[in-house]
Structure 1
Amino acid sequence: MSKFDSIRPFYDSEVNGALKEVAAHPMMKAMMNFTFPEKKDEEWTGQLLKTHSIRDFQINFIYHSVQKVLAVSSSGLTTSGFEKLQPNTAYLFISNHRDIILDTSLLNTTLYEHGLLMTTSAIGDNLVKKPFLKTLSRLTRNFIVHRGLSSKAMLEYSLLNSEYIRDAIFSQNRSVWIAQREGRTKDGMDLTQKGVLKMLSKAAGDLPLQDYLIKLKIVPVSISYENDPTDMLKMPELLAKAREETYVKQKNEDFRTLMSGIMGQKKRIHISVGDFLDDEIRSIFKEEKTVNKQLQALAGVLDREIVKNYRLWPTNYIALDLLNQSEAHKGQYSLQEKMEFEERMSAGLALNNPVAVKNFLAMYANPVIHKEKMQLLAT
């Protein structure tokens, strides 16, 4: 028994058995028929049953699924900054989080194409309640983050997650992906939660915290979608927040959001890898004397790097101008792009609801506002 059994992905020795259990599942059939429409079921099934490692499953199946998703639901993926990373080196990628599955899938696709180590990635247990999804997540090297626990249990699992991340990077030489905050950003404001960094710090052990954070090789990652495929699905929660109400998810809401994120139209996508934070970490620990202030300052550095490298699209500028009822950024988009955005908004939104319209526009406008604010603070 491993101390990480309650959260870890499959070992390679478990992969073939897990694949045999789900090979005939309707969702596996649907996924494979989408990915390999030219192949008969017996062909992909035969290859699946000969697969004995997570890497082989990712390369021979999931990679092709991601390429198919990009082909049918986007105008393409561009990347920057990956040349900074070294082969056979484990990193801790801390990223903004917009889509449940695609954020990590696209990052791993890019890492694979650059000959770099793919990640083990954090995923909330609320997203893998269906047995098939839990198996698939473990087959794609996800580790579980438990939600909605008692305070005592939350502390225990927080330490376990922290120790797993340390073990993955230091012992397994495996890169790790975690989001900068719990859950996806729904309002377009990508802000790092200090609690995420506090969780990371729990496994420092005998190492001074500064040395431990540097040894983790933290890399900020920014991912941006021209169209958020789940923008309309985020509206009920944003409206509840605007009314200062507690939002209660509907049954199967997470699953519907997951599928919409994968198949919904995204237009252009960009992933950017930021600079290493070693110098910033040393500077923070030199200036700040308490752990609380050190982690808060590190959260601020991550915010700055993630926002700086976030790719802004015409949709972001259009939304800001519509929100302000101005044309201040009209040089950033065409009339056709503005018409397309307005059509998208009117198709899914009650335009006679000013609160809904404001929240929808803010979702796209906030990345511009946030970036402009960060640029002012840097001057």
Structure 2
Amino acid sequence: MFDDIRPYRDDEVVAVIKKLINQQGLQASIASLKMPRLYQALPQLACKIVKWSLKFRVKKFHNIEQIQIEVAKYLHHLIKNSTAGFNYSGIENFDTTKPALFISNHRDIVLDVALVNLALHKSGINTVEAAVGDNLLHQPWVADLMRINKSFIVKRNEENKRAMLNASKQLSAYIHDTVANRKQNIWIAQREGRAKDGVDKTNSALISMLLLNKDKQMPMADYLAELNIVPVSISYEFDPCDIDKAIELAEKEATGSYQKHEDEDLKSITQGLVGQKGQVHLQFCQPIQGDFANSKAIAAAIDKEIISNYKLYDSNLVAYAKLNHQDTDSTVLEKLNKRMENLTTEQQHWLLTMYANPVSAKQQLPL
């Protein structure tokens, strides 16, 4: 029932790794990142070196946990080199003995869920199965790479409405079964695509999808108790992709659309991982419990938790002050100006706006 979307199991790891090693697309991607000059001059040689290296390095992987431990090592190294510090809090807000459906705001394609996993791993809690949209899986090997690291597929490119409804029902059943029956944590973003403008808002359609599997006779409060939704608020002092996001937002405003370049998602993933982020904070919020009228009310409750627990940095406060013609900290403003020096006036406005919007959101929270 779920074989086409579920993560791979332990008994599938060795076969999938063997297949991945032979994927030319994967070899080329690694070669272009790790040895760009050699890859440009002698692509076949560079790919052969990558293939040999992969064969040697992945011999030790025979199950998912071994892969996750290796990923955790890489994450520790990544955080040390690309942040001024990562911290998390709020573990005490939810029952760690019960599986949870973590729903977070979405700023970075890969790092958001990676940080959730790292915080859980450090706290001795089982890591999540993570939702990944098939729009990011242009090549089959990319899907294999994600599914071997506890990711499941969200189908977004079905050919008609009936197929999309069936895909949504399958996804709803999978999430409920995973949390309620298999007792496995899950992570999903609060909306499709990153909040490039800094507005963290849960898509009520996502909540409607989660409720598709609920029996009509079952009280909403009981079903929510089974899903155990725990909102997560992730705050980055600086966004490594802020310039690209500002350029995209300005173009959308000017022309009404934006056409992605080839391999733009891969570039965003890489930049988001290795780019400098300053301080990063992750807050586990209060679980969403009780009776709600509809999916919009549930989405609003998640939004309130995420926004109220969002950590504002000086980058946010200074951007807000600048847009509102208020006096502001000149040191932080210099950092923002440095990031904007090659942008147009419209692009600069959007870059400041994406940092300022969390401040506005907190001010608009209902008392």
| TM superposition score normalised by structure 2 | 0.88
Cα displacement string for residues 40-79 of structure 1 (whole angstroms, at most 9, x for unaligned residues): 99898556223222122101x1111111211221112110
Q: Is the 8 A contact 1:220 1:273 kept in 2?
A: yes
Alignment of 1:147-166 (within 5 A): 147-149=156-158, 150-166=160-176
Q: Which residue of 2 aligns with 1:237?
A: 248
Q: Which residue of 2 aligns with 1:181?
A: 191
Q: Which residue of 2 aligns with 1:291?
A: none
* 1:21 CA drift (Å): 2.5
Q: Which residue of 2 aligns with 1:91?
A: 100
Distance 1:235 1:63 in 2: 31
Alignment of 1:219-230 (within 5 A): 219-230=230-241
Alignment of 1:228-377 (within 5 A): 228-243=239-254, 245-278=256-289, 281-282=290-291, 284=292, 288=293, 294-327=294-327, 330=328, 334-346=329-341, 348-350=342-344, 353=345, 355-374=346-365, 377=366
Q: Residue 12 of structure 1 is aligned with which of 10, 13, 32?
A: 10
Residues 1:118 and 2:127 aligned together: yes
Q: Which amino acid aligns with 2:351?
A: F
Cα displacement string for residues 284-308 of structure 1 (whole angstroms, at most 9, x for unaligned residues): 3xxx4xxxxx211111111110001
Q: What is the number of residues matched between the two proteins?
A: 348
Question: Alpha carbon RMSD of aligned pairs, Å?
Answer: 2.4
Farther off after superposition, 365-374 or 77-86: 77-86
* 1:240 CA drift (Å): 3.3
Cα displacement string for residues 197-231 of structure 1 (whole angstroms, at most 9, x for unaligned residues): 00000111363333111221110100011111111
Farther off after superposition, 208-217 or 192-201: 208-217
Q: Is the 8 A contact 1:87 1:115 kept in 2?
A: no
Q: Is the 8 A contact 1:31 1:65 kept in 2?
A: no
* 1:165 CA drift (Å): 0.3
Q: Which amino acid aligns with 1:89?
A: K
Residues 46, 357 of structure 1: alpha-carbon distance in 2 compared, 3 angstrom cutoff: closer
Distance 2:190 2:364 in 1: 19
Q: Which amino acid aligns with 2:357?
A: N
| TM superposition score normalised by structure 1 | 0.86
Distance 1:167 1:5 in 2: 13
Q: Which residue of 1 aligns with 2:178?
A: 168
Q: Which residue of 2 aligns with 1:21?
A: 19
Q: Is the 8 A contact 1:33 1:41 kept in 2?
A: no
* 1:164 CA drift (Å): 0.8
Q: What are the ranges of 5 or more consecutive residues in structure 1 without an aligned counterpart?
A: 35-39, 289-293
Percent identity of paired positions between Structure 1 and Structure 2: 35
What SS class does the counterpart of residue 222 from structure 1 fall into? strand
Distance 1:213 1:30 in 2: 46
Distance 1:27 1:76 in 2: 32
Distance 1:142 1:360 in 2: 31
Q: Which amino acid aligns with 1:12?
A: D
Distance 2:169 2:55 in 1: 39
Distance 1:338 1:240 in 2: 24
* 1:29 CA drift (Å): 6.1
Q: Is the 8 A contact 2:27 2:51 kept in 1?
A: no
Cα displacement string for residues 179-209 of structure 1 (whole angstroms, at most 9, x for unaligned residues): 1111111111101111000000011136333
* 1:167 CA drift (Å): 1.2
* 1:31 CA drift (Å): 11
